Structure 1
């Protein structure tokens, strides 16, 4: 009897596949934004060996995709300059029409809780200016899409999502504050539609966001075998890539915004290389060029007092030299001592937007990077430092610089007096007669004091490797 029931179920399933119309992943749906002026990928499932005809409403052009034995098909369609709304028709004998499609700029936002933090905030943890954002939220030219939290030990075709929505009070309230405000800045400046795809989960490690092949270069990371008797969670290696990245991989985008790192502060040694490996792997799988990768350095916060978050920020700074077409938004002045979710998300969004506007959208003279340590020169008991991204000088306001420290051969750091010079920073400490190393803001909690003339903060740094 069980065997007969199994055969009947198989027949019913086969009949369903044969009669089913085109099945699309959730990211390809009504209200979506497609990246402008590119060959945008569309894909889905249909009957094996069938032909799927795709007609794009902006030019009436028809594309044909042959469905493989695995029921999968894929095609690239040419997109025009920004505009819309348009329809796209899919036809394998039964038509499926997607409506209200815009052409514009598409960005993926990923990471952990500071990226996921919605405009409405977390309980007892607000986002500054949230009500003002909601009052002005309605904008049909901003579209929002969210992949909900899920993990898997197997690569997934699709995901559970909050579908593409036009920006309004409800959708914006639930959307990443960093992602939405970034979209708002870009949309207003360029006057084109902007789509944001959010896929983030609080408290997660970078290893979970990397694919299994992308993790092969890190022997210390043990990837769970599919179906193995191992209890998985959201921090198991590759499980978030499988469930929350792979379902959107290939959707043509302008770039990626990344805000993550707090969960990796206790194993920062390989973090820069992991970031590099993740971005390299994602770009290869997305197959739409070396899109820009812009990320936020984790903000100051009073953790356990061990100051190991300084090494994670250092790894994020080092990653700038490893990842092509990348930039980092420094948040040294935007943290909160007792809140790991600082409410000032507008500052983060603006600095990420500066990166995009300067590097991708033609405002080449717009400063987007704070001072970065360049070189050290020691003359007896005095230290001179020079910086990149400070062509118009450095600035500290009316406050003294208190976050610099110097050490001698004994490797003991002492507070150093610091002043801004015409070429950089000059340091001196009566307690260190022969300095050999310098650190700036190299601790868990601090409030950034050093900026370039454009008001962008310097990244914490050290000159030693102790």
Structure 2
């Protein structure tokens, strides 16, 4: 099928504008498209909006002087894809139906979506009485015209929305950074430093959100245990009602030209790890399908350890041990192509679900992007990961991958391993590092059949790669949740 948009010569464009001047309409762009925005470099990126049905729409760009045009459909919507150059700027983009609308100070660079729940949403200034460690100095030194920030306003709807609520791209400054996602900002700051190109960050988050709130109704039909609301239903939980955040916040930005996504979510699903396993893998697959960009990079943070029994309804033990959710996230890294998981085992806090050390979270996500997407070499970007279990007499030998330079506890005693025999009862164990493996023993277990590491609701990890990246909690067994 022939494309609905064409590249016009300048003379043809002038004739087109003359004809369009008869229109009484005024083009309206989706709220993602504002002055100061960043467009993904070296791509064909879409620009969309609305006008009177049947209106001719022209889009011109100053970087290559090309002009594109299309016609709005019966609903008045239009979409034009424009070719972007290598990183640079500032440029202008003009969209016209006879009455031009010009976007100024447009940069071309690398664009990332930063999505999830409160641990991605929490701004650099922190929540009330919940700080971000060392953020004040980072905020003070944040002015950078090459980092641009867009925050999708919160919204929760039972019906699909055409657009997000009005917002604006802002250059990084103390005022704008203070209000922006801390994890997202630290991620973007490191990318900006290493890539030396403009960085665009889109924060799309809602505190307390469940993953099913970010998923569309059609996809959730595969999960009959999840009830999706009818259009006229009231929303009892604005951040946890299935489909409502997808409708109001996510779907309206899908299609914007991006390099990839970083994700920090799972705390609100900690009590159902088996379901989350299927939901998360499905979510990433469907998100990529809807975006229409193939398997774009998708990096995610593993939830940090926390004492979830402090939260209503105060469940404790069994599947309510959040280590099971962390284990699902660990295993999903091998199920999802072009992904990576930032491990946060060393930064959790027992008294707060919002760890204040967000620089580690953001920068570990950036390490993954720099290593896997941008092909930087010579540094560690992946945590060592459990590879295999071998029983040798009364010892269990655990081998790890991504540990070419070996493992370390930084000269501290390792106290977080447990070992079990045929009775399936876990006992505290001694652990000895040998290169890229750990030997685990206990006087209470003569025939080891399973090992668990840091497998508690709240725990501080004590095993690392020599690059300082922590090892995820893991278990070698697949036993029932009630086996402790």
**TM-score with structure 2 length normalisation?**
0.91
SS at match of 1:163: coil
Q: Distance between the aligned counterparts of 2:425 and 2:350, measured in 1?
A: 25
Q: Distance between the aligned counterparts of 2:435 and 2:355, measured in 1?
A: 34
Alignment match, 1:103: 108
Alignment match, 1:432: 445
SS at match of 2:191: helix
Q: Distance between the aligned counterparts of 1:349 and 1:163, measured in 2?
A: 23
Contact 2:30-2:163 at 8 Å conserved across structures: yes
SS at match of 2:306: coil
Displacement of 1:19: 2.8
Displacement of 1:369: 1.1
Q: CA RMSD in A?
A: 1.3
Q: Distance between the aligned counterparts of 1:175 and 1:230, measured in 2?
A: 27
Tell me whether 1:218 sits opposite 2:223 in the alignment. Answer: yes
Structure 1 segments (4+ residues) deviating >6 Å: none
Alignment match, 1:70: 75
Alignment match, 1:174: 179
Alignment match, 2:5: none
Contact 1:145-1:161 at 8 Å conserved across structures: no
Alignment match, 1:280: 285
Q: Distance between the aligned counterparts of 2:394 and 2:34, measured in 1?
A: 65
Q: Distance between the aligned counterparts of 2:166 and 2:346, measured in 1?
A: 34
Q: Distance between the aligned counterparts of 1:364 and 1:71, measured in 2?
A: 48
2:257 to 237, 242, 252: 252
Alignment match, 1:5: none
Q: Distance between the aligned counterparts of 1:293 and 1:364, measured in 2?
A: 20
Q: Distance between the aligned counterparts of 2:239 and 2:182, measured in 1?
A: 22
Evaluate the alpha carbon distance shift between residue 427 and residue 289 of structure 1 in structure 2; reply closer, same or farther with a 3 A threshold: same
Contact 1:146-1:161 at 8 Å conserved across structures: no
Alignment match, 2:361: 348
SS at match of 1:447: coil
2:352 to 339, 357, 371: 339
Displacement of 1:230: 6.7
Displacement of 1:180: 0.7
Displacement of 1:234: 2.3
Displacement of 1:152: 0.6
Equivalent positions of 1:337-416 (< 5 A) are 337-416=350-429
Evaluate the alpha carbon distance shift between residue 24 and residue 163 of structure 1 in structure 2; reply closer, same or farther with a 3 A threshold: same
Tell me whether 1:443 sits opposite 2:461 in the alignment. Answer: no
Tell me whether 1:289 sits opposite 2:294 in the alignment. Answer: yes
SS at match of 1:162: coil
Q: Distance between the aligned counterparts of 1:387 and 1:270, measured in 2?
A: 27
2:127 to 116, 122, 128: 122
Displacement of 1:29: 1.2
**Structure 2, unaligned runs of 5 or more:** 1-22, 310-315, 480-484
Alignment match, 2:19: none
Task: Write out per-residue CA displacement over residues 114-165 of structure 1, whole angstroms, 9 at most, x where no aligned residue.
Answer: 1001000111111111111121111111100001111111111111143111
Evaluate the alpha carbon distance shift between residue 111 and residue 375 of structure 1 in structure 2; reply closer, same or farther with a 3 A threshold: same
SS at match of 2:167: strand
Q: Distance between the aligned counterparts of 1:329 and 1:233, measured in 2?
A: 28
2:321 to 305, 308, 311: 308
1:81 to 77, 83, 86: 86
Alignment match, 1:10: none
Evaluate the alpha carbon distance shift between residue 153 and residue 377 of structure 1 in structure 2; reply closer, same or farther with a 3 A threshold: same
Evaluate the alpha carbon distance shift between residue 137 and residue 229 of structure 1 in structure 2; reply closer, same or farther with a 3 A threshold: closer
Alignment match, 2:10: none
Q: Distance between the aligned counterparts of 1:230 and 1:294, measured in 2?
A: 30
Displacement of 1:409: 1.4
Alignment match, 1:150: 155
SS at match of 2:355: coil
Q: Distance between the aligned counterparts of 2:459 and 2:43, measured in 1?
A: 44
Tell me whether 1:162 sits opposite 2:167 in the alignment. Answer: yes
Contact 1:404-1:438 at 8 Å conserved across structures: yes
Q: Distance between the aligned counterparts of 2:121 and 2:244, measured in 1?
A: 18
Q: Distance between the aligned counterparts of 2:423 and 2:277, measured in 1?
A: 29
Contact 2:25-2:97 at 8 Å conserved across structures: no
SS at match of 2:136: helix
Q: Comparing 223-232 with 137-146, which one deviates more in the overlay?
A: 223-232
Contact 2:213-2:242 at 8 Å conserved across structures: yes
Q: Comparing 378-387 with 220-229, which one deviates more in the overlay?
A: 220-229
**Structure 1, unaligned runs of 5 or more:** 1-17
1:47 to 37, 48, 52: 52
SS at match of 1:321: coil
Displacement of 1:98: 0.8
Displacement of 1:231: 4.6
Evaluate the alpha carbon distance shift between residue 156 and residue 435 of structure 1 in structure 2; reply closer, same or farther with a 3 A threshold: same
Alignment match, 1:14: none
Alignment match, 2:330: 317
Contact 1:32-1:102 at 8 Å conserved across structures: yes
Task: Write out per-residue CA displacement over residues 407-461 of structure 1, whole angstroms, 9 at most, x where no aligned residue.
Answer: 1111111001110013400011011111111100011111110011211110100
Alignment match, 1:453: 466
